[in-house]
A and B are shown apart, each in its own frame.
Chain A
Amino acid sequence: VDIDRFDAVADMKHIALGAGEPSSVVARAAAGDHDAFTSLVAMYHADMTRLAAAIGRNPDLARDAVQNAWQLAWLRLSGLRDETKIRPWLLSIAANETRLLLRRRRATEDIADQFILELGDPAHHVDDLDLNAALGRLDPHERELLGLRYVLGYTSVELAEHFSLTPEGVRSRLKRLIDRLRQELSHD
């Protein structure tokens, strides 16, 4: 199993590295080139899944949302105005699809917040349980902000672009959110 996993990772890297500059890959994929589209999947699938997981807090839901996102990406890729924005564009689609799927599934079934603490430093385990629960109570949009910042490392400028805010506005929103989380934990 491990060998299979390594092979799959190596294959994705090979596809991504052999594809050329992202912008040219985008242009080819937008023109209907399946290989180029495959290269985009190889390059961005993992990050999209990470973000979807941060928002949805359910690995299965995250994977389904990202698969849906790729469908939309294929349909809408030719409308992307700036090829250099492919990563944020794909992440936006993944985030949106995750929120939609979350809303839809919550309306019809009981979607469990599946993130439990299996790993990490045992010394922090109890504290992390509280933090984990607090994250689960956040609105998906708020987890999107945190996921982009802390999982994918977005800068405040990138966050501002993603949320159509000013960098100051997004820093302020992030600070308020962090303050709220800290306050919740101090009360728990």
Chain B
Amino acid sequence: MTENDFEQRLARLMRLQSESAVEPVDARKVAEFAIANAQRRRGPFHGLRRMLQMTVHGPSARRYGLTAAGVVLVLGVGAAFLAPRLITPAGGTGGSPSPQPSPTASPSHAFLGAFALTDESLATNLPAGNYILDLPDTRYRIHFALPEGWWHYWPEGTTATASDVHALIVNNGVDGAINHTRLRSAWGMAFTVVGYGRIRNDPCDSSAGSMDGGFSTNAESLAEAFSSWAEYPVESITDVVIAGYAGKRVELRREARCDLYGLGDTLFETPDGHEFTMQVPSSGPPVNQFTFLDVNGSVLVIWTTDYPGSTTYEEAHGASPDPQAHVEDQAALHAILDSIYITQR
């Protein structure tokens, strides 16, 4: 039998068998059943992922807003750039003096007159200046300085005050992050927290459940949990000290085979159920950074997209592929991270 004959025989058999599984169905019933079950599956807070997804097609401001929030979250980790400045000698890369993990309040007068990031009136291009952020259910306050050209977003279904996810995304100049309806950027950083028992066992399989809640209780175990995913291999793990607080920075690479739907997959959820995925460049390694800091008994997560190059999200929204995009933004991102300090509240 020739190879061609064999292929024909194989095709005939496979078609015959596959066809036997096809039954006429009521498309409406299938669709409605799927929609009803999807709503249950999604839960009340689908937040960030939904935002990312909806902006692709959604003409409404709400959809674009959601996308922005998703993007911001992804960006937040970006500690890679921090390495030279913030990593302790124990981290192996540091050339800087070893910062002591002795969290003491920086001079508060430095931030007198600071903007509250949670002020919803600032849901537009943020004025350059000093900002404060209080995440819900935490006992600390985050301070940082922003240059011009950044934008604040929080997930759909919540308010700026109540949100446990706050993203700072850069105005990429395509359409600007002028308002919720025109958001086209997908690059920046976010501050958030991991929900107890809400780290996925397998980011590629939502049905595989979540890890034991203990993994979310400190930076060390979070780093361990984030290092356990086969399809999100670790590029690096380093010790960091930011604003006097010690922690871990994990750099993850997203394997393409896990991203079957072009959206990335959920790594973890916040206490309010906002799902975190990754935002990757179209060129260069698909890497994001997650920094975990032990702060006053809880773990602050900073997520960043610290890489050059346009993101797949931006290109889907009309940006031309540009491996040099965001090079200057990286400097700004580093400056924001360098400016962070934390006080008790």
Contacts and interface: CB of A to CB of B under 8 A. Distances in A.
Contacts of B12: 120
B345 interface: no
B260 interface: yes
A145 to B, nearest CB: 11
B9 A131 contact: yes
A187 to B, nearest CB: 14
Nearest to B66: A78
B17 A9 contact: no
A63 to B, nearest CB: 7
Interface residues of A, number: 71
A100 B42 CA distance: 19
Contacts of B14: 54, 135, 146-147, 150-151
A131 B10 CA distance: 8
B34 A67 contact: yes
Contacts of B56: 30, 78-81
A150 B11 contact: yes
Nearest to B36: A71
Given A11-B26, A41-B31, A182 B6 contact: yes
Interface secondary structure of B, over-half rule: helix
A160 interface: no
Contacts of A62: 21
A75 B42 contact: yes
Select the residue from B21, B52, B59, B261 with max chain A CB neighbours within 10 A: B21
Interface of A: 4-5, 8-9, 11-12, 15, 26-27, 30-31, 34, 37-42, 45-46, 49-54, 57, 59, 62-63, 67, 70-83, 89, 92-93, 95-96, 100, 104, 115, 117-120, 124, 127-128, 131-132, 135, 146-147, 150-151, 164, 178, 181-182
21 contacts: A12-B25, A31-B59, A38-B32, A41-B34, A50-B19, A53-B18, A57-B17, A75-B38, A77-B57, A80-B261, A81-B312, A93-B260, A115-B17, A117-B13, A118-B20, A119-B20, A120-B12, A135-B13, A150-B7, A178-B10, A182-B1
